[in-house]
């Protein structure tokens, strides 16, 4: 079996999760992202040869050092920053390692577990992919013998699958509620509080006195801070 390298793109800590700004301060959003990264790395670390955080933020570099994992400095791109940064990181990884599979996951899926990583790596398919709830991509694992190009963005799941078929790759889809949950909204935080009791993310949100209960309104969950 080929070695597996995990690449995780990370936004600047100070600019993270702005959609949560009505509920969380800038510092709280930063600490939330750190907690999610720690959960992801804890689940992934023992099943991969290396983990590489990709960012242009010096604080992310320091955090990678604290966690004992690798870091790839993102260059300044005029457009399509995420995909260009990933393409550059993938090229660097291929130069440093031979005969490998590449796993790309976002930094905000704290419900990922080791079984997801094992299933992706042990699959005989050339590409393993898992969709987010909004049609994005929350796991991408591919054989580096193929010159596969990340296409993250709106409805990226469908574009990734189309690209794979165009290249003649076999595709395996992992359908998982836990993988589909990326954290961007108040309701997403509610799902974490319901389903991620043993995680660093759950522990951090609990310290912020955030509660969740069922709702019969427009949103399925009512998420709020109890000190509001």
The predicted pLDDT at position 46 comes to 94
Q: Determine the Cα angle at 77 with ends 72 and 80, to 5°.
A: 100
Q: pLDDT digits over 96-120, tens only? A: 888 899 999 999 999 999 999 999 9
Q: Would you list the domain boundaries of the chain?
A: 3-180, 186-225
Query: Average pLDDT in the 167-188 region?
Result: 95
What's the pTM value of the predicted model, to 2 decimals? 0.94
Q: Which residues contact 107 (CB under 8 A, 6 or more apart)?
A: 8, 9, 10, 11, 33, 36, 37, 40
Cα-based distances in Å from 219 to 13, 49, 215, 227: 28, 41, 7, 21
Length of the chain: 228
Residue 156's H or E segment, with its range, is helix 156-166
Average pLDDT, the chain: 93
d(CA 29, CA 91): 31
The predicted pLDDT at position 67 comes to 92
Q: pLDDT digits over 42-83, tens only? A: 999 999 999 999 999 999 999 999 999 999 999 988 788 999
Contact 51, 64 (CB under 8 A): no
The answer regarding whether domain 3-180 maps to CATH 3.90.550.10 reads: yes
pLDDT higher for 211 or 172?
A: 172
Helices (H), 49-155: 58-67, 81-96, 114-122
The predicted pLDDT at position 217 comes to 63
pLDDT of 228 > 60? The answer is no
The predicted pLDDT at position 214 comes to 81
pLDDT higher for 221 or 220?
A: 221
């Amino acid at each position: 079996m080929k070695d597996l390298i995990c690449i995780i793109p990370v936004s600047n800590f100070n600019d993270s999760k702005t959609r949560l700004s009505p509920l969380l301060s800038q510092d709280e959003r930063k600490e939330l992202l750190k907690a999610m990264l720690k959960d992801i790395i804890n689940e992934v670390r023992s099943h991969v040869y290396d983990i590489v955080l990709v960012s242009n933020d010096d604080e992310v570099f320091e955090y990678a050092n604290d966690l004992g994992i690798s870091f790839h400095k993102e260059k300044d791109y005029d457009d399509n920053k995420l995909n260009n940064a990933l393409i550059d990181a993938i090229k660097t990884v291929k130069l440093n390692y031979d005969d490998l599979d590449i796993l790309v996951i976002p930094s905000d899926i704290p419900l990922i577990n080791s079984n997801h990583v094992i299933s992706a790596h042990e699959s005989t398919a050339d590409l393993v992919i898992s969709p987010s709830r909004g049609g994005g991509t929350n796991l991408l694992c591919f054989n580096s013998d193929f010159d596969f190009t990340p296409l993250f963005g709106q409805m990226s799941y469908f574009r990734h699958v189309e690209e794979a078929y165009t290249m003649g790759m076999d595709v395996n889809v992992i359908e998982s509620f836990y993988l589909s949950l990326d954290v961007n909204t108040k309701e997403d935080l509610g799902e974490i509080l319901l389903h991620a009791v043993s995680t660093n993310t759950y522990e951090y949100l609990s310290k912020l006195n955030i509660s969740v209960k069922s709702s019969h309104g427009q949103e399925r969950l009512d998420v709020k801070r109890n000190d509001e």
